């Protein structure tokens, strides 16, 4: 990619990240192009579909998901604390953009979703935590990773749409964790 094309690409992704955070994933792509200082044609040349731009915006997020799961698994303390803290981190991860929790949670488990790779990365990270707790004998045997993603994602969606703060969300996450523990 030419240097100027790479600069445009990077600028579009940076601006889109900001716009999506402020206005949600359904924000106007024409606004993204305008704020990035490029024409709509340049944006669509780099990102033919909205999902392509979402994918680029979310790549650094995937890396953060994996790092966060690594940190959760290194937690020293009770299994319940590990699970609740992971849930708090999970909610934070999917709540970085307005509307993000609903978009990610509704796409979870849908192989035809345009953001399937991001959902899979999140489910894998969640699965690592769930598997560790299952190996420790801390979780009920019937707990499935996708169920946990949807439960915690549902809480994150309510928090996002109701603009609840972390202090209001944590007790709900604790109820879910208590229901999963043996």
Whether residue 1 is predicted with pLDDT greater than 90 in this model: the reply is no
Q: Say if 1-48 and 50-180 have the same CATH topology.
A: no
Q: Decide if 125 contacts 65 (C-beta within 8 A).
A: yes
Q: How many CB atoms lie within 10 A of CB 4?
A: 8
Calculate ∠ Cα 125-103-86, nearest 5°. Answer: 30
Q: Which CATH architecture has domain 1-48?
A: Orthogonal Bundle (1.10)
Whether residue 41 is predicted with pLDDT greater than 90 in this model: the reply is yes
Nearest to 16, CA basis, from 92, 119, 8: 8
Q: Provide the angle, in degrees to the nearest 10, between the axes of the packed helices 50-73 and 3-23.
A: 70
Does 1.10.357.10 match the CATH number of domain 50-180?
Answer: yes
Scan for tokens 């007790």, then name that residue: 171
Q: What percentage of the chain exceeds 70 in pLDDT?
A: 100
- The whole-number pLDDT of residue 96 equals 84
- The whole-number pLDDT of residue 63 equals 85
Domain residue limits, the chain: 1-48, 50-180
- The whole-number pLDDT of residue 128 equals 97
The residue-averaged pLDDT of 106-122 equals 89
Indicate the helix (H) or strand (E) that contains 6. Answer: helix 3-23
pLDDT in tens, 57-84: 878 788 899 999 999 999 889 999 999 9
pLDDT in tens, 143-170: 999 999 999 999 999 999 999 999 999 9
Whether residue 98 is predicted with pLDDT greater than 90 in this model: the reply is no
């Amino acid at each position: 990619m030419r240097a100027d094309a790479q600069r445009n690409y990077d600028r579009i992704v940076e601006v889109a990240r900001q716009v999506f955070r402020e206005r949600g994933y359904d924000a106007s792509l024409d606004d993204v192009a305008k704020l990035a200082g490029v024409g709509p044609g340049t944006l669509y040349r780099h990102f033919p579909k909205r999902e392509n731009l979402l994918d680029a915006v979310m790549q650094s997020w995937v890396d953060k998901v994996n790092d966060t799961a690594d940190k959760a698994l290194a937690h020293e303390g009770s299994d319940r604390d590990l699970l609740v803290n992971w849930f708090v981190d999970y909610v934070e991860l999917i709540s970085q953009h307005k509307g993000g929790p609903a978009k990610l949670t509704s796409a979870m488990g849908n192989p035809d979703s345009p953001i399937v790779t991001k959902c899979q990365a999140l489910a894998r990270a969640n699965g690592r935590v769930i598997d560790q707790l299952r190996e420790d004998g801390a979780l009920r045997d019937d707990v499935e990773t996708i169920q946990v993603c949807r439960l915690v994602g549902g809480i994150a969606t309510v928090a996002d749409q109701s603009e609840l703060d972390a202090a209001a969300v944590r007790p709900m996450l604790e109820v879910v964790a208590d229901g999963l523990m043996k």
